């Protein structure tokens, strides 16, 4: 007799244990790619402290070459590592594989038209690996596996996380609309396409593109949390990680340039940007804590008829109204 295949669920889709192992391997490859570029930038900047300051927006010290990474890269490295561990340990890691793959495809797509052969090759590799993650979560389904859905998040934490993520998405959209009204049209377009007026690390997506993807992710995760969907934890934690990193970078810049101590001297847009960064940091950390807790207890399964069982035959003679 053959042994049953271990399974994992994503919504109504189950994937086999070999698919889980494949997903973990793809995540490990993505994490390794990010780590190689981070180590290269560490060699360029000279110390971890300088690299952290550079990621936070402090570009006032000389470098020995062009950097390639941005604050997005350590976040994705952590996401890939956590997803690989989840795929190896959890029967319900398919939503995490799908979330990591979708984020990779969305965030690395601009690398196809980025300058530099290294950035282009990396984008092609990561897009292929991200597509592999989505494909693994979607089609690695055994024909005869029973459906065993993951538990839903608890109502209170899920709704609170959904409200915070929705507010973060709204703030991000309002900020981009304000910039679009203040900047020339050419610069606004370059912020989404990575044109000449935008100077960014080689692997970083254009700022407008990143904002649009982040706002979409926050909104999607917020809807999942508010509806207590079974995949809310995976997408919510991914959104919270990006939100926390964005807020941490903004707060670090405000501390570095001492703008937190003189908010009253700033223009309204600049003060609003500092306060928005503080909100992003606090909201991201809060969502991480809320969604890292226990899920709601699963409902007890109802009785299931045995395979091939038929309903009982009507009694003889048949009673009136049967």
26 and 72 share one domain = yes
Predicted confidence band of residue 280 (pLDDT cuts 50, 70, 90):
very high
Non-local CB neighbours of 71 within 8 Å, separated by 6+ positions: 55, 56, 245, 246, 248, 249
- Give per-residue pLDDT as tens, 56-98: 877 666 666 678 999 999 999 999 999 999 999 887 888 899 9
Asked whether residue 108 falls in the same domain as residue 169, the answer is no
Cis peptide preceding 142, ω within 30 of 0: no
**H and E: helices and strands count for the chain:** 10, 2
- Same domain membership, residue 174 and residue 99: no
Query: What's 315's DSSP letter?
Result: P
Instruction: Give the chain's domain count.
Output: 2
Residue 87 belongs to domain with CATH number? 1.20.1440
Does any domain span residue 312? no
The pTM assigned to this predicted structure is 0.85
| % of the chain exceeding 70 in pLDDT | 80
Range of weakest confidence among 76-80, 194-198, 311-315: 311-315
Contacts (Cβ under 8 Å, ≥6 apart) of 105? 127, 130, 131, 134
- With respect to residue 39, please indicate whether it lies within any of the assigned structural domains: yes
- The residue among 120 and 66 whose pLDDT is bigger is 120
CA 148, 150, 156, 159 torsion-angle sign: negative
User: Is there a single domain that holds both residue 210 and residue 282?
Assistant: yes
The pLDDT of residue 184 is above 70: yes
Last residue of a domain, one of 146, 173, 195: 146
Q: Are residues 13 and 74 in the same domain?
A: yes
Domain boundary among 146, 170, 197: 146
Query: Whole domain around residue 93: which residue ranges?
Result: 7-146
Query: What phi and psi, each to the nearest 5 degrees, are found at residue 197?
Result: -75, -5
Which residues neighbour 155 within 8 Å (Cβ) at sequence distance 6 or greater? 228, 296
3-state secondary structure at position 295: strand
Under the banding of pLDDT at 50, 70 and 90, the label for residue 8 is: very low
Residue 309 within any structural domain of the chain: no
CA 126 to chain CA centroid, nearest Å: 15
In a domain, 209, yes or no: yes
Residue 2 in domain: no
In terms of domains, do 158 and 125 share one?
Answer: no
Confidence label for 11 from pLDDT (cuts 50, 70 and 90): very low
- Residues 134, 24 share a domain: yes
Beta bridge partners of 16: 7
pLDDT of residue 258: 83
| Residue 103, domain member (yes or no) | yes
281-293 b/e (C-beta count within 10 Å ≥ 16 → b): bebbebbbebbee
- Domain end residue (candidates: 96, 119, 146): 146
pLDDT-derived band at 197 (thresholds 50, 70, 90) equals confident
């Amino acid at each position: 007799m053959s042994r049953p295949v271990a399974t994992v669920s994503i919504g109504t889709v189950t994937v086999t244990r070999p698919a889980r192992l494949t997903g973990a391997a793809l995540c490990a490859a993505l994490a390794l790619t990010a780590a190689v570029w981070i180590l290269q930038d560490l060699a360029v900047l000279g110390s971890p402290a300088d690299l952290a300051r550079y990621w936070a927006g402090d570009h006032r010290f000389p470098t020995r070459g062009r950097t390639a990474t941005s604050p997005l890269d350590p976040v994705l490295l952590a996401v890939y590592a956590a997803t690989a561990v989840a795929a190896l340990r959890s029967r319900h890691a398919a939503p995490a594989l799908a979330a990591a793959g979708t984020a990779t495809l969305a965030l690395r797509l601009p690398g196809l038209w980025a300058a530099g052969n290294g950035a282009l090759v990396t984008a092609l590799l990561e897009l292929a690996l991200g597509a592999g993650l989505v494909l693994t979560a979607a089609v690695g389904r055994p024909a005869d596996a029973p459906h065993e859905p993951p538990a839903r998040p608890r109502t209170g934490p899920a709704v609170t996380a959904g409200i915070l993520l929705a507010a973060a998405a709204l703030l991000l959209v309002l900020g981009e609309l304000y910039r679009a009204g203040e900047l020339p049209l050419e610069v606004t377009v370059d912020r989404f396409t990575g044109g000449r007026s935008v100077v960014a690390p080689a692997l970083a997506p254009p700022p407008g593109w990143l904002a649009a993807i982040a706002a979409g992710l926050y909104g999607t995760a917020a809807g999942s949390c508010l509806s207590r969907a079974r995949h809310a934890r995976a997408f919510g934690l991914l959104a919270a990680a990006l939100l926390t990193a964005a807020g941490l970078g903004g707060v670090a810049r405000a501390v570095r340039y001492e703008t937190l101590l003189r908010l009253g001297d700033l223009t309204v847009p600049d003060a609003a940007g500092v306060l928005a960064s503080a909100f992003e940091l606090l909201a991201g950390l809060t969502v991480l804590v809320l969604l890292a807790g226990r899920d709601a207890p699963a409902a007890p399964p109802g009785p299931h008829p045995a395979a091939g069982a038929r309903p009982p035959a009507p009694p003889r003679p048949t009673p009136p109204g049967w």
